[in-house]
Amino acid sequence: MKALITRKVGMTSVIGDDGAAVAITLLSATPNTITQIKNDEADGYKALALGFEQNKKAGKAAQGHFKPAGLLPKIVREFRINELPEDQKVGDQINADVFNVGDVVDVVGTTKGKGFAGTIKRHNFHRGRKTHGGRSYRRPGSIGSMYPQHILKGKKMAGHMGVDRVTTKRLKVALIDTELNVIGVTGAVPGPRKGIVLIREAK
């Protein structure tokens, strides 16, 4: 299984084989540790649980759960798999070299929080006119009708914006540095710097 928990570092660019500059996002891929292997008999599905970074404080339940892995991870994520690995066991590490340059991957991140946003910022509504008596400058406008006397679900309105789990599909791995534990993928990745980003081989 090709999957890792990483942290977003930032963006830069590299020169491709054709001489064109390609924008890439750098991901800090410190080694992940397998903390649990789930199977159909015990859990009802197949998955690998990976631990990322070291947790300074942990309760006794967490200490007991992660004791076989030899690590108290700060972040744990599960990745579904089709077949259980034969050459991997609890406590093994997965490094950046699990990927190769040219691999097609999906990345998952949490977008930046924007707080409470209006319809213009949140849904790209048009504003009203500024002059000639226009009073609907940044208002949303009509939101309903006489029937059915209530607002329909899914209506585009002002509200909380951001902090959404977003998957960007089919990005290419453009750079791998095993010494610095850095992976570079083409294009933009959702989330702020230092945000958690999951990277997995595209299906």
What pTM did the predictor assign? 0.88
pLDDT for 138 beyond 90: yes
pLDDT for 182 beyond 90: yes
- Among candidates 136, 38, 118, 127, which has minimal Cα distance to 78? 38
Helices and strands counted in the chain (H then E):
3, 12
Predicted confidence band of residue 17 (pLDDT cuts 50, 70, 90): confident
Q: What does pLDDT average to over the chain?
A: 94
Predicted confidence at residue 67, as pLDDT, reads 94
- Amino acid found at 24: I
Predicted confidence band of residue 100 (pLDDT cuts 50, 70, 90): very high
State which H helix or E strand residue 74 sits in.
strand 73-80
167 touches 203 (CB < 8 A): no
Sheet with strand 93-94: strands edge to edge: 73-80, 47-54, 32-38, 93-94
Predicted confidence at residue 85, as pLDDT, reads 85
4 touches 48 (CB < 8 A): no
Beta-strand ranges (E) seen in 102-193 are 104-110, 115-117, 159-161, 165-177, 182-186
CATH architecture of 3-111+165-201: 2-Layer Sandwich (3.30)
Predicted confidence at residue 167, as pLDDT, reads 97
pLDDT for 1 beyond 80: no
32 touches 91 (CB < 8 A): no
Domain ranges of the chain: 3-111+165-201, 114-143+153-161
- Provide mean pLDDT across the span 79-84: 92
